[in-house]
Amino acid sequence: MQLFRSRARQSVDTVPIDNHSSDIERFQTVLAAADDAQGEQNWPTAARLYVKAIELHPEAVGLHMQAGHMLKEIGDFDGAFSHYQLYLEHHEDDPDIYLQLGHLFNRRDDEIGARTWYERLLQKVPPHSRMAVDARRSLEEIRRRPVKRVQDQVAKLIRLRRFAEAADFLRNEAEKDNDPLTYLMLANYHRDQGEFDDAARYYDRCDQQMRSPGVRFESSMQRGHMEKFRKKLLPALQCYIEARRRYSDQFVTGCSLHDVEAEINGIMGRISRALMLVY
pLDDT reported for residue 229: 92
Nearest 5°: CA angle at 199, between 196 and 200? 90
Residue 6 has pLDDT above 70, yes or no: no
Identify the weakest region by mean pLDDT among 2-16, 116-130, 258-272: 2-16
Q: Is 22 exposed, middle or buried (0-12, 13-18, 19+ CB in 10 A)?
A: exposed
**For residue 252, is pLDDT > 50?**
no
Rounded to an integer, the average pLDDT of 57-68 is 94
User: What pLDDT sits at residue 24?
Assistant: 85
The angle at the Cα of 91, spanning 85 to 93, to the nearest 5 degrees, equals 120
- Look at residue 75 and give its three-state secondary structure: coil
> Residue 215 has what pLDDT?
81
The residue ranking higher by pLDDT, 201 or 256, is: 201
Overall average pLDDT of the 166-194 stretch: 84
Calpha distance 128→254 (Å, rounded): 18
Question: To 10 degrees, the CA torsion angle through 137, 140, 141, 146?
Answer: 180
Contact assessment for residue 57 and residue 49, using Cβ atoms and an 8 Å cutoff: no
- Band the pLDDT of 243: cuts 50, 70, 90: confident
Domains and CATH numbers, the chain: 2-137 (1.25.40.10), 162-278 (1.25.40.10)
Q: Please tell me the predicted confidence (pLDDT) of residue 277.
A: 65
Give the pLDDT confidence score for residue 271 in this predicted structure.
79
Q: How confident is the model at residue 13 (pLDDT cuts 50, 70, 90)?
A: very low
**pLDDT reported for residue 258:** 81
Rounded mean pLDDT of the chain?
84
Average pLDDT, stretch 240-261? Answer: 72
Considering 163-167, 207-211, 221-225, the range whose residues carry the highest mean pLDDT is: 221-225
Residue 54: pLDDT over 50: yes
* Residue 259 confidence (pLDDT): 83
Res 1 pLDDT > 70: no
All residues at 6 or more sequence positions from 276 whose CB lies less than 8 Å from its CB, including other chains: none
The confidence score (pLDDT) of residue 87 equals: 96
Residue 18: predicted pLDDT: 46
The pLDDT tens digits for 15-38 are 344 444 577 889 999 999 999 999
The Cα–Cα gap between 107 and 72 comes to: 8
Q: Is the pLDDT of residue 59 over 60?
A: yes
Q: Is the pLDDT of residue 210 over 80?
A: no
Residues 202-208 have a mean pLDDT of 87
pLDDT beyond 70 at 106: yes
Percent of the chain with pLDDT over 90: 48
